[in-house]
Amino acid sequence: MAAVLESLLREEVSVAAAVRWIARSAQSSEVTAPTRPQAWPESAFRDDPGEAAALSSLRPLRKEFVPFLLNFLREQSSRVLPQGPPTPAKAPGSSAALPGRPGGPPRGGRGARSQLFPPTEPSSTAAAEAPSARRGGRRRGPGPGRERGGRGSGGLEEGVSGESSPWAGGRRPRGSGSPGSPSLARSDPPNLSNLEEFPPVGSVPPGPAGTKPSRRINPTPVSEERSLSKPKTCFTSPPINCVPSSQSSVPDTSPWGHGLPPGCRSLQEEREMLRKERSKQLQQSPTPACPTSESGSPLPSRTGNLTAEPADPARVSSRQRLELIALIYSSCIAENLVPNLFLELFFVLQLLTARRMVATKESDLEPIPGALDSLESPLFQSVHDCVFFAVQVLEHQFQVLSYLDKGTLKLLAENERLLCFSPALQGRLRAAYEGSVAKVSLAMPPSAQAVSFQPETDNRANFSSDRAFHTFKKQRDVFFEVLREWEDRHEEPGWDFEKGLGSRIRAMMGQLSAACSHSHFVRLFQKQLLQMCQSPSGTGGTVLGEAPDVLSMLGADKLGRLRRLQERLVAPQSSGGPCPPPTFPGCQGFFRDFILSASSFQFNQHLMDSLSLKIRELNSLALPQPEPSDEDGESDVDWQGERRQFAMVLLSLRLLAKFLGFVAFLPYRGPEPPPTRELQDSILALRSQVPPALDVRALLQQGLRARRAVLTVPWLVEFLSLADHIVPLLDYYRSIFTLLLHLHRSLVLSKESEGEMCFLNKLLLLAVLGWLFQIPTVPEDLFFLEEGQLDTFEVDTVTSEQGLDGMPVVDQHLLYTCCPYIGELRKLLASWVSGSSGRSGGFVRKITPTTTTGLGAQPPRTTQGLQAQLAQAFFHNQPPSLRRTVEFVAERIGSNCVKHIKATLVADLVRQAESLLQEQLVTQGQEGGDPAQLLEILCSQLCPHGAQALTRGREFCQKKSPGAVRALLPEETPAAVLSSAENIAVGLATEKACAWLSANITALIRREVKAAVSRTLRAQGPEPAARGERRGCSRACEHHAPLPSHLISEIKDVLALAVGPRDPEEGVSPEHLEQLLGQLGQTLRCRQFLCPPAEQHLAKCSVELASLLVADQIPVLGPPVQHRLERGQARRLLHMLLSLWKDDFQVPVPLQLLLSPRNLGLLADTRPREWDLLLFLLRELVEKGLMGRTEIEACLGSLHDAQWPKDFSEELATLFNPLLAEPHMPEPQLRACELVQTNRGTVLAQS
Amino acid sequence: MILTKAQYDEIAQCLVSVPPTRQSLRKLKQRFPSQSQATLLSIFSQEYQKHIKRTHAKHHTSEAIESYYQRYLNGVGRNGAAPVLLDLANEVDYAPSLMARIILERFLQEHEETPPSKSVINSMLRDPSQIPDGVLANQVYQCIVNDCCYGPLVDCIKHAIGHEHEVLLRDLLLEKSLSFLDEDQLRAKGYDKTPDFILQVPVAVEGHIIHWIESKASFGDECSHHAYLHDQFWSYWNRLFGATWASREMEAACLVPLPDPMVCSRTAVRYLVSSKGKHKSTCHAGILSISGPDARGLLGPSPCL
């Protein structure tokens, strides 16, 4: 392979020919000639027979050229970016170019990736194949007892971490502490200096792709050398002008750059010192988690005196060679022959911002004139070379750069090196910056709320039983409780999801038994997921963010600035390098952990079903149609809406697909690929039998055919990114990858012709696909497939219809939201500007408010038929907003129509049913017969009337729709358009309403009548006395009566006072009692605040009060401290009570209590006994008809059961016989004391 | 009427180990003349309930029950007319009504074949005339009418207050022409858990958006807030009812009922939580309770939330 490069360098072969040659290996030969970058000389496009000959001999090596080139560049740059730049590439090594390394088998050659720097370190292969090293996550691996394959935030990364190591790890000896070694990782004590395992507070845990083993501090001997003040051993870097020796060249932050020098005595000691040093640095710079900051360049702020070496165009060593390689490299990028466009850009920017060269030879600093054509001499001999090369490549890639966000453009345009090497490019960038409106904010608005109760689906009627309904009710509460707890605590150190919530979640899942409940819960889960995580950037903010509250307390003028500040604080510091592995940031982590903790098969299945359904639904959602470009600004407004809707749908789809992928591949996910070929084959045989959870291939093919790749591919990538290691090897998925690969190759950015995909759409697809190709589970050889496997693509896309792909649906904001790792470019540049990268991780300068409107309801699909086609044609020529308006109106009016029918026609029928029922009840007597039978009779009479519903519905739609359409469309809409729109709206609304009504009206009537019948029968039923007789307060009542609670409380106090114990000075005045009874009367007459229990208690208390009056037990407050109530007063009060009982109480008054043993006992207690009040009361009761004689008799009869003293019983008998015998007694003439005069001692005490 | 955290604390402080009797309440009223009886009673009741929750178990050991019963028997043996049971309750620092229940249960166990059912006991407590023993009936009745924190009468009063305030609240909403759905209407729509009222059109009160209102008609101390939050409010939030619950400072510090200027000049009161010296609203999602200064002066000017 090197031969090809060399022949290029010797100019035996032109670059254009070479690129064609390479491209042909990847694509079928009829592919259009690559558009040439501006720098290409015309002559480069001549096909030279000599060239062809030179190249044809190398034919078998063709496909290995690009990987070779990438490896070559990485290798060459190793001295500039000694810390192991975070530019991983999964280019398989070009075996032919690597002596001593036979090419591995095309499948499963996991070691290939490590060949980025192959000659130095074969052991890196082993490291790469030890992905079980558990360092990826924040959480330490769980105990071995419980299989938690993907548990914790580290779950996914676990399988990943080791694999991305080689690009950095390959060049250094793996010391004993290498985290890539699983056994050591486990046995080692926690390494506090490891930033992945112990990330600094507040930092976003970096994905392994960004952090890698490079983070790990390799032992560097310090103590001895430090005492000698040798620069190499100092933690401060050498002085600027000091020529670094081979050992000392590494800045302090990158001790891993070089091997362990011999003579290191105590690694333990060294580690200890390193750790201390590191912790000091951590305190100085709070966000070292950003990989670029850590490893990208030396940090002057930390080291004090290290500044970047100035780059000088005049000192570039081998211009021509660099130009050539830059050209061929750029061409490969332009032709999408490299797996990941942005990774290459990142690499180039790293070269641009390289601080200084690590010199290895003395001659390095001088150009070697004779070595131009040779690969033997280093490509980059100085920083000047690097910058020159980078600027060359950037010039070729200007177009892509110009589409980046404004912040990145600004940083690029302001880069002094760039200005120095290519003022022209700088000028173009500046112009692009000034013209750009692509402000991108990396922060996300907090958006989540709880899913609201949905009466339509969460109704009791949708549950099989009351129990299921109530179970779901409880589950909803538990779910939100768990969610809130997670929110409050998940950032606390030491908090563990499983430990904290696992058992509660499982207990909750355990209650879900019926399939129906599962589907209810899954619906809630999915809705909440969408609601919380859908916000742009997909990470979700704080769910119940307090911040807005704080902000809103301040004035509006400060608000903007504070928002910006807040944004900077909450924006993710790093997305984990330019190729982060799939993670579940923010709220997504909750849902992932929930699924894992629940570990419920049923739940997962229901969730997959539900996710698949929703994905299909959203994927086929009718999104904006191509719009004839309008002359006015109106379409612009519409277009914003379209874009927003597209973004919402796309983000939702990505989220759903990610979780679908997560759940679907969960059972298969393991930390590493199968160790042997045999095992792998047997797994493959087995897995190929399993049907996919969702037929994504069909959806992808559909999407490509309908030119909706820009919608389908991003979510598909999310889905595939969570696949396990076996998946890409399965035929089904392999064919998907092939399709994607084809798509990738076809997305040549420089091609801009009619019917092509929009630039940003392409860029999005390239970004997500490039990312996918770097996912650890995707085999690295997949990208560089044999040409034979790539035939079946072109046919599919040949469609005339313009789909989404051709519309500018993607903007920079969406691009950066979907691919936050593109932001790494900006961070890299910013770190160059600031000199110290790590400190200000976010670099968020611009604020773009984003809204999270819900997904629009799916527009109803029109039915077949000419009319429908006409309508379609009509809409086709109108702005999409018209169609949306009409569909919206139709949908609403249709729905309102149903409600209207329910409120009018059905309500009328129900009233009829009620009156019919009343008649029935009158004729058949109180019982009325069997309710079911009654219902049948009524329904048979009433349901036929339901037919009217359709007529009325039609009228309703006819009447209401046109007005609504008219109100919503611009006034200037032409009359013909307006009337057509109105007619279509009427038609659609009628269709919708009538469809529903004809299907459901009978059932609806039945249900309502049934409810009415049971209501009527219930009202008829148990307590006819209480019903109907209850009066409200009079019309004139102003509800100023005392509150019942107050009265009960007052009466209770009187009772307590009477019963005692009381203080000597305590008592009530007769006036107070009278007033109390007066108030009682008021309250009873004004029934506003009265509820039956209160009235019952009032009744009972009034009876108790009467008993106390009769027994003369109420202590009266008066001039002589305490005395008895006067007879007359007592009678007056009793009269008041009698009238209350008779006229005002509407509940039964428990008058029999007057004759209860306990209350009569009160009487027995008084001395001398006075019976006249009791007799008076009883007579009045009889007279007023409040109690019958027989009732009194019964009460007195039961009194005999009680144990009274003999004389008391005698007295009773003597007293009551005349009362009971004679209907009318005049005023009582006898006093008890006259009847029986013996003193009887304490009756109560004897009983 | 604002009750500051300090005032509340002062009142609560006075209520440590005070028997729940008329006399205690009277003293409390003398001590805090500016507070209404309703407020004081509500705080008293809640503080006392906390106290009872803490000590409940120790009065229900079989040894304790036995010893109480013996003391009761001895006491009425000496003098059946004396307030034996009430004194016993006050002496051992337990609610008289609850003491009455213990003794009644024990009494019935002794005198009847089968252990008494809860409903029988409850019915006897509601109407002590049903208690077969006259002396015990009197003792029990005395306990019940003298207990201002527990017992059937107190329960009824609380229930009545709750009902009244719902009615007041409804009147208020009608008076202010705020359109709302009440609990019954919501139930009819199929909601499983509902607050008292959901406003059909949310209103803003002091910059906070109010979506639903739950009347609690009891004093809102931290404890009861926690309990209600757990039992009810979160459930409402979980069903959201259109609210954005923006603040979760519930757990913070003290609860300050404030008269609400917008929704109701007359009676509604909102809670504010004072947190580290700053007031933060707790009730973005709804007025948690209303009550308070009643125009007619019957309840007095202070809230009984």
Compute the distance between CA of residue B206 and CA of residue B211 in angstroms, rounded to an integer: 14
Tens digits of residue pLDDT in A495-514: 888 888 888 888 888 877 66
CB-nearest partner of A453 from B134, B240, B284: B240
Provide, rounded to the nearest whole percent, the portion of chain B with pLDDT above 90: 14
Asked if residue A631 has pLDDT above 90, the reply is no
In tens, the pLDDT along A1093-1134 reads 889 999 999 999 998 888 877 887 766 555 667 778 888 888
Q: Bigger pLDDT: A967 or A796?
A: A967
Residues of A in contact with B138 (CB under 8 A): 1059, 1158, 1161, 1244
Q: Do A544 and B234 touch (CB under 8 A)?
A: no
Q: What is the pLDDT of residues A1231-1242, one digit of tens each?
A: 444 444 333 333
Under 8 Å between Cβ of A1243 and A1165: yes
Contact yes or no for A449 and B244 at CB 8 A:
yes
Top-confidence range, A70-84, A547-561, A998-1012: A998-1012
Question: Residues of A with CB below 8 A from B249's CB?
Answer: 546
Whether A671 shows a pLDDT value over 50: the answer reads yes
**Does residue B14 have a pLDDT over 90?**
no
Confidence grade of residue A719 (pLDDT, cut at 50, 70, 90): very high
Q: Smallest Cβ distance to B134: which of A451, A1091, A1247?
A: A1247
Residue carrying structure tokens 């009873």: A1084
- Least confident range from A285-289, A474-478, A913-917, B215-219: namely A285-289
Residue, of A7 and B110, whose pLDDT is higher? B110
Which residues on B lie below 8 Å from A452 (Cβ)?
A: 239-242
Does the structure show a pLDDT above 70 at A366?
A: no
pLDDT at B36: 78
Chain B hits for A1244, Cβ within 8 Å = 80-81, 134-135, 138
Mutation for testing the B interface, residue in A1043, A1079, A1090, A1203 having most B CBs under 10 Å:
A1043
A1200 to chain B, any CB pair closer than 8 A? The answer is no
Q: Find residues 525-564 of chain A whose CB sits inside 8 Å of chain B.
A: 544-546, 548-549, 552
pLDDT at B96: 92
Is the Cβ pair B128, A552 closer than 8 Å? no
Over residues A891-903, the mean pLDDT reads: 88
Chain B residues 71-90 with a CB less than 8 Å from chain A = 79-81, 83, 86
Q: pLDDT tens across A369-398, in order?
A: 444 445 566 777 777 888 888 888 888 888
- The predicted model gives A860-878 an average pLDDT of 65
Nearest CA among A1016, A1012, A455, A475 for reference residue B186: A455
User: Is the N-terminal amide bond of A1168 cis, ω within 30° of 0?
Assistant: yes
Which has more confidence, A964 or A847? Answer: A964
Q: Do A1093 and B160 touch (CB under 8 A)?
A: yes
pLDDT surpasses 50 at A164: no
B246 vs A548, A1089, A1203: nearest CB: A548
Quote the pLDDT of residue A595. 92
Residue A205 in this model has a pLDDT that exceeds 70: no
Helices H / strands E in chain B, number of each = 12, 7
Contact criterion met (CB < 8 Å) for A544 and B246: yes
Express each pLDDT in A1054-1106 by its tens digit: 888 888 788 777 788 888 888 999 999 988 888 888 888 889 999 999 999 99
Q: Are A217 and A274 in contact (CB under 8 A)?
A: yes
Higher local confidence (pLDDT), B14 or B305? B14
Chain B interface, best mutation among A484, A527, A528, A549, by max B CB count within 10 A: A549
Q: Which of B146, B191, B193 sits opposite A455 (nearest CB)?
A: B191
Place of tokens 């090369």: A389
For chain B, positions 117-176, list CB contacts with chain A under 8 A. 127-129, 131, 133-135, 137-138, 141-142, 145-146, 152-153, 156-161, 163-164, 167-168, 171
Cα A589 to chain centroid distance, Å, stands at 9
Residues of B in contact with A1059 (CB under 8 A): 138, 141-142, 145-146
Mean local confidence (pLDDT), A104-130:
36
**Contact in structure between A1048 and B162 (CB atoms under 8 Å):** no
Tell me if A1056 and B159 make a contact (CB, 8 A cut-off). Answer: no
Rounded to two decimals, the pTM is 0.59
For tokens 């292969």, name the residue. Answer: A125
More confident residue, B34 or A931: B34
How confident is the model at residue B244, as a pLDDT? 31
One-letter amino acid of A377: S
Q: Is A1124 helix (H, G, I), strand (E, B) or coil?
A: coil
Contact across the interface for A1094 and B190, Cβ inside 8 Å? no
Chain A residues with CB inside 8 Å of B159's CB?
A: 1091, 1093-1094
H or E element at residue B73: helix B62-78
Q: Does the beta carbon of A1240 lie under 8 angstroms from any beta carbon of chain B?
A: no
A656 confidence band (pLDDT: 50, 70, 90): very high
Nearest-angstrom CA–CA distance, A6 and A8: 5
Chain B residues within 8 A of A480 when measuring between CB atoms: 234, 237-238
Report the largest interatomic distance among the alpha carbons of chain A, rounded to a whole angstrom: 149
Average pLDDT over residues A699-723: 89
The Cβ of residue A1053 has, within 10 Å, a number of other Cβ atoms equal to 18
Q: What is the phi-psi region of residue A1158: left when phi exceeds 0, alpha when psi lies from -120 to 50, beta otherwise?
A: alpha
Band (pLDDT 50/70/90 cuts) for residue A1203 is low
Residue A212: the pLDDT is 36
The reply to whether residue B138 touches residue A1244, judged by beta carbons under 8 angstroms, is yes
Q: Quick one: pLDDT at residue B69?
A: 92
**Confidence (pLDDT) at B144:** 92
**Binary contact (A1158, B142; C-beta < 8 A):** no
Helix residue spans in A138-217 (DSSP H): 154-161, 166-169, 182-187, 208-211
What confidence category does residue B103 fall into, taking pLDDT thresholds of 50, 70 and 90?
very high
Q: What is the mean pLDDT of residues A740-744?
A: 86
Counting residues of chain A whose pLDDT is more than 90, the rounded percentage is 5
Res. A519: pLDDT tops 50 = yes
Q: Which of A807 and B275 is assigned the larger pLDDT?
A: A807
- Give the nearest partner residue to A1045 out of B161, B193, B241, using CB atoms: B161
**Partner B contacted by A1092 (CB < 8 A):** no
Confidence of residue B225 (pLDDT cuts 50, 70, 90): low
Position A241 scores a pLDDT of 37
pLDDT for the residue A22: 67
Band of the pLDDT at A413, cuts 50, 70, 90? confident
Confidence tier at A521 by pLDDT (50, 70, 90): confident
Q: What confidence score (pLDDT) does residue A319 get? A: 80
Count other Cβ atoms within 10 Å, centred on residue A814: 25
Q: What CA–CA distances, in Å, run from A875 to A77, A631, A880, A1245?
A: 58, 18, 7, 98
ipTM for the complex shown: 0.81
Predicted pLDDT at B71: 92
B97: pLDDT strictly greater than 90: yes
Query: Looking at per-residue confidence, does B92 or A535 come out higher?
Result: B92
Average pLDDT, chain B: 71
Give the side-chain half-sphere CA count within 13 A for B132: 10
Q: How many CB pairs under 8 A join A and B?
A: 156
Q: Where are the alpha helices (DSSP H) in A944-1041?
A: 948-968, 975-1020
Q: Which is more confident, A165 or B128?
A: B128
Residue B111 has pLDDT above 80, yes or no: yes
Chain A contact set for B125 (CB, 8 A): none
Asked if B234's CB is within 8 angstroms of A1244's CB, the reply is: no
Q: Note whether A782 and A737 are within 8 A (CB).
A: yes
> Which comes out higher in pLDDT, residue A628 or A897?
A897
User: Is residue A847 pLDDT above 50, yes or no?
Assistant: no
Taking the Cβ of residue A44 and every Cβ of chain B, the question of whether any pair is shorter than 8 Å is answered with no
Which of A239-248, A669-678, A711-720, A1231-1240 bottoms out in mean pLDDT, i.e. has the lowest?
A239-248
Band of pLDDT at residue A127, cut at 50, 70 and 90: very low
- Cβ A871 vs Cβ A860: under 8 Å: no
Residue B199 has pLDDT above 80, yes or no: no
Is a pLDDT exceeding 90 seen at residue B98? Answer: yes
Kindly state the tokens that stand for A973: 């809409």
Chain centroid, CA B54 distance in Å: 17
Which residues 300-339 of A have a C-beta within 8 angstroms of B?
none
Nearest to A477 among B160, B235, B245 (CB): B235
Establish how many alpha carbons lie within 13 A of residue A618's alpha carbon, considering only the half-sphere containing its beta carbon: 26
Residue in A closest to B131 by C-alpha: A1158
User: What is the model's pLDDT at position A602?
Assistant: 87
- Identify the three-state secondary structure at position B197: strand
Q: Nearest CA to B51 among B24, B72, B82, B31?
A: B24
Mark which residues 687-716 of A lie under 8 Å from B by CB.
none
With a CB-CB cutoff of 8 Å, which residues 195-254 of chain B face chain A? 207, 234-235, 237-242, 244-249
Q: Contact, A994 vs A954, CB < 8 A?
A: yes
When mean pLDDT is compared across A661-665, A711-715, A771-775, B15-19, the lowest value belongs to: B15-19
Chain A residue nearest residue B133, CA to CA: A1247
Q: Pick from B134, B156, B299: which is nearest to A1048 by CB?
A: B156
B211 Cα to chain A: minimum distance (Å): 13
Rounded average pLDDT over A246-255: 36
- The average confidence (pLDDT) of chain A is 68
Q: Which of A452, A481, A1061 sits opposite B241 (nearest CB)?
A: A452
pLDDT score of A615: 92
pLDDT at B143: 92
* Predicted pLDDT at A405: 83
Round the CA-based radius of gyration of chain B to a whole number and report it: 22
pLDDT tens digits for range A298-344: 333 333 334 566 777 777 777 888 888 888 888 888 888 888 888 88
State the average pLDDT over residues A248-259: 37
Does B283 contact chain A (CB < 8 Å)? no
Phi, psi of B198 (to 5 degrees): -115, 130
- Whether the predicted pLDDT of A761 surpasses 80: yes
Q: Is A476 on the interface with B (CB under 8 A)?
A: yes
For residues B134 and B203, which has the higher predicted lDDT (pLDDT)?
B134
CA–CA dist B143, B137 (Å, integer):
10
Q: Which of B87, B129, B148 to mutate to test the interface with A (most CBs of A within 10 A)?
A: B129
